[in-house]
Amino acid sequence: MKKAILSSILLLSSTSIFADTTMCFKENHKSMSTIENTPLDGGVCAGQNTINDMKAKGWIVEDIKISQTPNGMSFIYILKTPTQQVSNTVSSTENQADMEARILKKLENKKEEEKKAQEIKEIKDAAIAGENTYVNKCQSCHGTNGEKKAYNTSRPLKDMTMEEMTLSIRDYKLGERNTQNAIIMTPYANFLDVNEIKGIYSYLNKINNN
């Protein structure tokens, strides 16, 4: 009986020593029902193998972590399989923690990249809309590049920050501007909302910094 127990312990120890571990992940996936047939990134999966592919190759899912994201769900799979070669690395627990930290870091970096890409896209879209507004409503008084002092009473728009531009438009709307061109400017200010002001600012910033 003791020999049988000892044999079982040695067998379990050997399995742990000879086990390969890999971590695969998928970010912003939409459906739980399709994840096992979706190619996963990272590790042995390498953007080509699905969980079902890995199972067919003898890999076993040891752990799975699922987290909600603004665009879906993120999945992290820890997979193991026996191998014929002895691993010279640190314990599998440390390897797993190491890999998990690297994957999580990649996920965070990817989120940051997506956020920056979205911000850049929003600025470009705002500039396109702002060009139409500026050319048709503002250019005749403020100049092609926002370089003119309209009626010699206002600062050139190209020299104003987004906040200064927003506050100026607000003052016109509230009737707090007593300059000579307030009567002319107020009707234009009244049709401008925050997005249109952002568009005008983005457009002027674009053409003056190219």
Tell me, yes or no, whether 138 and 84 share the same domain: no
Tell me, yes or no, whether 24 and 81 share the same domain: yes
Per-residue pLDDT, averaged over 178-192, amounts to 84
Which pLDDT band, with edges at 50, 70 and 90, does 93 fall under?
Answer: low
Please enumerate in sequence order all residues whose Cβ is within 8 A of that of 160, keeping only pairs 6 or more positions apart, or say none: 168, 201
* Domain end residue (candidates: 67, 88, 109): 88
User: Higher model confidence: residue 179 or residue 10?
Assistant: 179
Residue 81 covered by a domain: yes
Residue 130 covered by a domain: yes
C-beta neighbour count of 27 within 10 angstroms = 19
Tell me, yes or no, whether 200 and 126 share the same domain: yes
CATH number of the domain within which 168 lies: 1.10.760.10
Which pLDDT band, with edges at 50, 70 and 90, does 109 fall under?
Answer: confident
Tell me, yes or no, whether 56 and 137 share the same domain: no
Output the pLDDT for position 96.
62
Q: Write out the chain in H/E/C secondary structure.
A: CHHHHHHHHHHHHHHHHCEEEEEEEEEEECCCCCHHHCCCECCCCCCCCCHHHHHHCCCEEEEEEEEEECCEEEEEEEEEEECCCCCCCCCHHHHHHHHHHHHHHHHHHHHHHHHHHHHHHHHHHHHHHHHHHHHHHHHHHHCCCCCCCHHHCCCCHHHCCHHHHHHHHHHHHCCCCCCCCHHHHHHHHHHCCHHHHHHHHHHHHHHHCC
Query: To 5 degrees, how large is the angle CA 199–CA 112–CA 34?
Result: 110
The residue segments making up the domain with residue 50 are: 19-88
Residue 10 covered by a domain: no
Residue 9 covered by a domain: no
pLDDT at 57 over 50: yes
* Domain end residue (candidates: 45, 68, 88): 88
Tell me, yes or no, whether 131 and 203 share the same domain: yes
Work out the burial of residue 9: count CB atoms within 10 Å of its CB; fewer than 13 is exposed, 13-18 middle, 19 or more buried: exposed
d(CA 98, CA 37): 26
Residue 180 covered by a domain: yes
Tell me, yes or no, whether 203 and 123 share the same domain: yes
* Domain end residue (candidates: 88, 108, 132): 88
Per-residue pLDDT, averaged over 33-47, amounts to 91
Residue 7 covered by a domain: no
CA distances (Å), origin 4, targets 1, 7, 11, 127: 5, 5, 10, 75
Beta bridge partners of 75: 26, 66
Residue 26 covered by a domain: yes
Q: Per-residue pLDDT tens for 149-174?
A: 888 878 899 999 999 999 999 998 98
Q: How many distinct structural domains can be found in the chain?
A: 2
Residue 95 covered by a domain: no
Tell me, yes or no, whether 78 and 159 share the same domain: no
- Which of 42, 61, 43 is CA-nearest to residue 51? 61
Tell me, yes or no, whether 84 and 123 share the same domain: no
